[in-house]
Each structure stands twice: as structure tokens, then as C-alpha cells.
Structure 1
Amino acid sequence: MRRAAAAVFGRRAVLRWVHLILGGALLMPYWLLGTVVMAPLFDGQGMFAASLGMQFAAYGFALPLVAVTALFPLARPMSVAVARALCDVRGRELADGPARGREARTRTAGWLVLHVGLGGLLSGATLALPPFALTLMALPFSERLQRSELTAYYGLDQPWAQWLGVPVALLMLTALAAVAAGAGALLAGLAPLLLGPSRADRLAAAERRAEELAVRNRLARELHDSVGHALSAVTLQAGAARRLLDSDAPGDREFVREALAAIEETTRRTVGELDHVLGLLRRGDEPSGELPGPGLEALDALARGAGATAAVTWTGDLERVPPTVSREAYRIVQEGLTNAARYAGGAPVTAHLALGDEELEITMENPLSGRPAPVRPGGGRGLRGVAERARLLGGTSAAGPVDGVWRLTARLPLGGGR
């Protein structure tokens, strides 16, 4: 009993009733226009003195106009906002944004016609029934009402009939509340179907998720390459400097000074890159175009930071390499040097860039140590990042042992930067 009373008179039922009354208010301009159009068919009856037949004719004329209005882009966002606030429908079940495509517009039109149509009927009943019911309830206690034409018109001139009007009035109000609760529940149940995402909406959402995932992967590559290389280079330089400080060989002080300078340069450059990437993550921005970062012009600094065992050479004018290709090529060389620092055990590593007419070829080699490379917890992602960078530019990459050396090659089309 208590559950039934809550379903009819509870807060959710009241909010849905308000939602239906708002639908009735939205119907009024269309209904007034309908009375003007239908007046000649009913002997020129006015809108307030019209018969019940004319009022329903105007109501039927108004609903197709409502359906046409629902085709405008803002109809669905407004309907969704009101349904979420008043119909107690979970937000994820409803679509966001304007309706795009025939399916979404048709659903929105169906929802608006149902909302406005039911709301118009219920609003009329809400305006008419409560005053009449209150009059019936006050009739046994008011001699003025007993002498009015109301009692004769409805056959309530007998005292027993007047007292019978009290429970009838209560029953009418309860029935009105029950009908409003049922209509509100019907709208709430149909909201996910009519205002939920269409196939086009789901496709657009999937595309947005794919774009967000691509951005996250891109930022992850930036962090992996810049920070991973910096840590490897700093570890290598610091270890070499520490070992030389323990020896008495001449020139050690100068080498330590160069190592510390390389550490300073590497960390300063990496901190700038890290600040930029973390700034994008903190603001939630999606980087458009290219993420700023070093290009092939910074190869000399990259080689100095990698230590004395690294040699980077190139043939051709690297200034004519497109910025996108230049930046990705720098990251590929950086990752190759990082891998060599981790796994080659201080063996010399060479990197050569050959610029052709249509592509840039990168070749990096270091001797195999003769023992398996150490495996980090979770596995490395550097070679996967190299492959992704080359593939995004329309190029190819390969890595593996060849003739006693570890070789990393990448071919980057120059047109991939356009």
C-alpha cells in the first residue's frame, strides 16, 4: 500500500507530472493556431467558446506541427535535458548533442509528439478536475453552492447526493494522480528508446573514443621516448663519471666535466618536453597538429647526451626534411640510442641517416653482447613505438640481430609529413 502511494504521490511522480504539464504548455501555441485554422469548419467558433469537437480538431492539427518542430537540431538536446531533470532517467541512456540522421530525427519527433500530446491532455484535466472536485467537496458545507445552478445541472440538489460528492471528488483526484503517474512512467520508459543514441550517435562516440585513445597513445610515446632516453643517458654518463673519479688517470677531471654538462643538457631539454606533455594532460587538451619537440637539428646534442660511444652521421641536407618527419626521425634515433645504452653494455653504437629524394632512411647498429638482453618488468615498448611512428608516416621499420650486430632500420617517406 505504501509503495503504491509513493508511486502515485511520491516525489518522482510529482516531477513527472510537472514534466507533462510543461509538455502541455509547449502545445498551447500550436493549439491556438489550430483553433484559428479550424474555426471556419465549426461555424466560426471562438477559441474559448469552442465546442469539445473543435478543441480536439485543433489538438489533432497541432500534433503534426509539433513533429515538424522536432526536426530542428536543438529539439533533442532540450528534450534530453528536461527528461534527465524530471523523468528520473539515467544520463547514460540518453544521447547528447543534436539529432543527426533520419533515424535520430524521427525518434526525436516521436518523443516530442508523445510528450506534448500526453501533456496537453493531462494539463487540460489538471486545470479542470481539481477545481470541480474541490467544489464537490465543499458543496455539503456551503448553502450558496447548494443554491447555485451547479446542483440542479448535475442533479445534486438532494443532501445525500451532495455528501456522496465528497468521496467521488477524492476518487477523481486520486484517479487524476494515478493517470499522471502512469503517463509519466510511460514517458520515462520510452525515453531511452526515443532519446537514446542512434547508430550514427554510437558510431560518432566510437570515433571519439578512438581519437582519444590515439591521443593517449601518442602522449605515452612522447613520455616513454623523452623520459626513457633521458634516464638512460643520465645513468650512463653518471656511471662513467663515478668510475673515472675513482681512478687516477690524467684527464679524468675534464671527462667528468663533460659528462656533467651532458647530464645537465639532457635533463634540461627533457624537463621542458615533460612539462609540455603534462600540461596537455592536466588541461585535458587534445593536441591538434604536431606536438612541439626537437627535430633533426638537435642530433648533435642527442649524440653528446648519449655518451662517447655514440656516433651519429648523416648524408644529405636534413633541413629539407618536413617538420613532421624530422621530429619522428629524431624520436626514432633517440629510442635506438636508449636501447643501446640499456642493452649493449657500453658498446659503441652508430646511427646513420641517409636522405634520398623521396624518403629518409635511418640505420642504427651496435655489437651484440653475446648474452640475452635484460627484461624489464612489464616489457619494453620502445620498438613498438618506433614501429608506430614509422607506420603513421607511411613508412616501415625493422629491428633484430644481423651478422653479429643489432640493427634497427626505419624508412620514412618525406611525403608523410604533409
Structure 2
Amino acid sequence: MRRTVTALFGRRALMRWVHLILGGALLMPYWLLGTVVTSPLLDARGMFAASLAVQFAAYAFALPLVAITALFPLARPISVGIARALCGVRPEELADGPARGRAGKTRTAGWFTLHLGIGALVSGATLALPPFALSLVALPFSERLRNSEMTRFWKLDEPWVQWAGVPAGLLMLVALAAVAAGAGALLARCAPRLLGPSPADRLAAAERRAEELAVRNRLARELHDSVGHALSAVTLQAGAARLLLDSDAAADREFVREALAAIEDTTRRTVGELDHVLGLLRQGDDEASGDLPGPGLEALASLAKGAGATAAVTWSGELERVPRAVSREAYRIVQEGLTNAARYAGGAPVTARVALHDEELEITMENPLPDRPPAVRPGGGRGLRGIGERARLLGGAAAAGPVDGVWRLSARLPLEAGR
């Protein structure tokens, strides 16, 4: 019994009832237009004659207009928003945005017509039936009702008929609630099929998700390369300076001074890059999807200086004709290569060569393999993965691994991608 009452008069049933009444309200402009068109053909008394034939003809005339209206882009977002709020449908079962393709628009038109068509019938019953049912319930107790026009019209003069109207009126109210609950449940069951994502919607959502992940990965690479290199360089310079800090030799003091200057320069540059990337994260994906500013090949000398005395960076060719996007990514690749060498090569000398060919930029970095394999940090390995991603995004390729007793990192970046 309790379950039946909840199903008919619970919160979900009442919200779905409101949803149906809203559909009936939305049908009213179409129904009025249908009344204007059909009443001269079916009833000479005009549209205000309240003829049932005119009303149902106007209803039938309105439904095709509703279906046509549902083809407009805003129809599905509005329908989905209302259904999520009132129908009790899980949000993930419904699609977002305008309908795409013929199938999606057809399903939206079907939902809109179903909602407004059933909603109009339930709304009409909700307006007309409760006053009549309550009048039947109150009829044996009200002399005014017994002498009313309603009693004479429905031939309710007999006392036993009037008392029979009490349970009949209550049953009418329960029947109305049952019809509204059933109609609401029907719409809730149809909503995922008619308003759910189509294959085109799923493809568009997958593309949006891929774009979001690409932007996030791009920003993550920027943070990893810039901050990771800065921390490695600062650690090396600070460690060397600490070892020589107590020495009285002028050369050692000069080295300490240069190390501190390199630390200052590296941290200042990295703070600027970090602030910019964090600013892009705050702005959102649309602003972060553009080209990220940052140092390019013109900053190789500063990069080599900050990497320490064991790093030798050379370049050849007219690097100024390298497109900005390629120059920036090439700088990050060299930067990450130096960071990995400083972290895993145990202070061994590192050589980096950047050569510009006709339509390709070649990067080669080498350092001797350490005597024992370096310890790998938990979760490490993102640097080489990021180098490969940078090269592939430009249509190039990158490779890293031991070759003839040295660790070699190589990358080829086509110039055409940067243009």
C-alpha cells in the first residue's frame, strides 16, 4: 500500500506530473493556432464555441507543427534540461548540445511531440477532472450543489446516486494520479532513447575529450620540462658551489660566484615560465590551446651555461630561419636531454649537437653510460615520453637508448610542420 501511494503521489511522480503539465503549457500556442484554422471548417459558431470536434482537430493540427519546431537547434538542449530536472533520468543518459544529423533531429522531434502531446492530454484532465470529482464527493453534503445545474445535467437527483458519487469522485482522482504517473514513467523510459547521445554525439564528445587531454598533456610537458630542468640544474650548481665554498683559491671563489649567478638566472627564467603555464591553467582549455610562448634555439647558450661545465652544446646552420614552433620544441628537447643526463649520467660529460639541414632540424645528444644502472624514480620516465610526443606532434620522430657504449638521444623535426 505504501509503495502504491509513493508511486502515485511521491516526489518523483509529482515532478513528472509537473513535467507533463509544462508540456501541455508549451502546446497551447500551437493549439490556439490550430483552433483558428480548424474552427471555421468544423463549427460555424467560431473558435469560441468550445466544440469537442474543434478542440481535437486543433490538437491534431498542432502536433505536426510541434515536430517541425523540434528541428531547431535549441529544441534538444531545452528538452534535455527539463527532462534532467523533472523526469528523474540520470544526466549521463542524455545528450548535451543541439542534435546532430538526421537521426538525432528525428529522435528529438519524436520526443518533443510525445512530451507536448501527452502533456496536453494530462494537463487538460488535470484542469477539468479534479473540480468535477470534488463536486461529486461533496454533493451529498451540500444543498447548493444538489440544486445546481451540474446535478440536473448529469441527472444526479436520486439520493443513492449522490452517495455513490463519493467513491466515484475519489476513484476519479486516483485514476488521474495513476494516468499521470504512468505517462510520466513512459516519458522517463523514452527519454534516453530519444534524447540520448547518437553516434555523432559520442564522436563529438570523444573529440572534445581528446582535445582536452591533449591540452592537459601539453601543459604537463611544459611544467615537467621547465621545472624539472631548473631543479636539476640548480641542484648541480648548488652542490658544486657547496663543495668549493670553503676553499681560498680565487678560481674556486670565481666558480662559486658563477654557480650562484647561474642559479639565479635559471630560477628567474623558470618562475616566469611557471607563472605563464599556471595562468593558462586558470584561463581554461580554450585559451591554453594556442601556441605556448617560451624560449627557443636562441637561448641554447644560456641553457648550456646553466647546465654546468660538463655540458657542451653546439649548433650549426641558420637557426633563425627555423619556425618558432619547431625552435621552441627543439629547445625543450635539448633541455630535457640535459636534465636526464644530469640526473642519470652521474656527472659524465654531455654533448648536444643541433644541426639545421634543408628542411629538417636534427638533434643529437650523447653521454657515456654510467658504471651501474641509475636508480629509477617511482613514476619516472615521463621525460623521454614527452620528447617523443613533442617530435610526433611536429611530424618528426625521436629515439633514445644505448648505442656503442654511450647513451644517445636523437630527434628529427621537419620545418614544414612549424609553418
Asked if these proteins are the same fold (TM beyond 0.5), I'd say: yes
Deviation string, structure 1 residues 228-263 (Cα, Å, up to 9, x no partner): 111111111111112222445441110000001111
SS at structure 2 position matched to 1:406? strand
State yes or no: 1:30 paired with 2:18. Answer: no
Aligned residue type for 2:185: A
1:221 lines up with 2:217 in the alignment: no
**What CA distance in whole angstroms lies between the structure 2 residues aligned with 1:11 and 1:380?**
54
Q: Indicate whether 1:234 and 2:234 are aligned.
A: yes
**For residue 382 of structure 2, what is the aligned residue in structure 1?**
381
- Does the 8 Å contact 2:360/2:413 carry over to 1? yes
Equivalence map 1:18-417=2 (5 Å): 18-286=18-286, 287-417=288-418
What's the TM-score, normalizing by structure 2? 0.95
Deviates more, 1:328-337 or 1:79-88: 79-88
Q: 2 CA distance for matches of 1:232 and 1:85?
A: 53
Structure 1 residue 68, shift from structure 2 partner? 0.4
> Which stretch shows the higher mean deviation, 39-48 or 76-85?
39-48
| Residue-pair matches, total | 418
Alpha-carbon separation, structure 2, partners of 1:380 and 1:182: 58
Distance 1:163 1:345 in 2: 101
Q: Which amino acid aligns with 1:207?
A: E
Counterpart for residue 11 of structure 2: 11
- Once the two structures are TM-superposed, the CA of residue 332 in structure 1 deviates from its matched residue by 0.7
- Deviation readout 1:299-347 (Å, 9 max, x if unpaired): 1111110001111111112111111000000001101111211222222
What is the CA-CA distance between 1:36 and the residue it aligns to?
2.2
Residue range with higher mean Cα deviation, 214-223 or 61-70: 214-223
* CA distance, structure 1, for counterparts of residue 355 and residue 174 of structure 2: 86
8 Å CA contact 1:344–1:369 kept in 2: the answer is yes
Structure 1, residues 242-294: CA drift from partner, whole Å, max 9, x if none? 22224454411100000011111111111111122223234433412211111
Aligned letter for 2:90?
Answer: R
Of residues 176-185 and 237-246 in structure 1, the stretch that sits farther from structure 2 once superposed is 237-246
What is the alpha-carbon distance in structure 2 between the residues aligned to residue 343 and residue 143 of structure 1?
A: 101
Q: Report the CA distance between 1:191 and its aligned residue.
A: 1.2
Q: Percent identity?
A: 81
Name the SS of the counterpart of 1:89 in structure 2: coil
Per-residue CA deviations over 1:172-200 (Å, capped at 9, x if unaligned) read 11111111111111111211111111111
Runs of at least 5 residues in structure 2 that lack an aligned partner in the other structure: none
Deviates more, 1:299-308 or 1:41-50: 41-50
Q: Bigger shift: 258-267 or 289-298?
A: 289-298
- SS of 2:262 mapped into structure 1: helix
Counterpart of 1:75, as a letter, is A
CA positional deviation for 1:390: 0.9
Deviation at 1:155, TM superposition (A): 2.1
For the residue of structure 1 that corresponds to 2:333, the secondary structure is helix
| Secondary structure of the corresponding residue to residue 251 of structure 1 | helix
1:76: how far off? 0.7
Aligned letter for 1:39?
Answer: S
d(CA) in 2 for partners of 1:201, 1:356: 45
Q: CA deviation at 1:414?
A: 0.8
**Which amino acid letter does the alignment assign opposite residue 30 of structure 1?**
Y
Distance 2:403 2:308 in 1: 24
Q: TM-score, normalised by structure 1?
A: 0.96
| Distance in 2 (alpha carbons) for counterparts of 1:19 and 1:403 | 74
Q: Equivalents in 1 of 2:18, 2:374: separation in Å?
A: 70
Contact kept in structure 1, 2:43 and 2:54, CA below 8 Å? no
2:43–2:49 Cα contact (<8 Å) kept: no
- Quote how far apart the aligned CAs of 1:45 are: 4.1
SS in 2 for 1:107: helix
Aligned-partner Cα distance in 1 for 2:61–2:35: 9
Check conservation: 1:24, 1:122, Cα contact below 8 A.
yes
CA–CA separation in structure 2 for the residues paired with 1:278 and 1:148:
77
Once the two structures are TM-superposed, the CA of residue 411 in structure 1 deviates from its matched residue by 1.1
Aligned with 1:48: secondary structure? helix
Q: Is the CA contact (8 Å cut-off) linking 1:89 and 1:191 kept in structure 2?
A: yes
Moved over 6 A (4+): none
Alpha-carbon offset, residue 168 of structure 1? 0.9
Three-state SS of the structure 1 residue aligned to 2:47 is: coil
385-394 or 145-154: which moved more?
145-154
Is the CA contact 2:215–2:285 (under 8 Å) kept in the aligned structure 1?
A: no
The one-letter code matched in structure 2 to 1:240 is A
1:32/1:47 contact within 8 Å kept: no
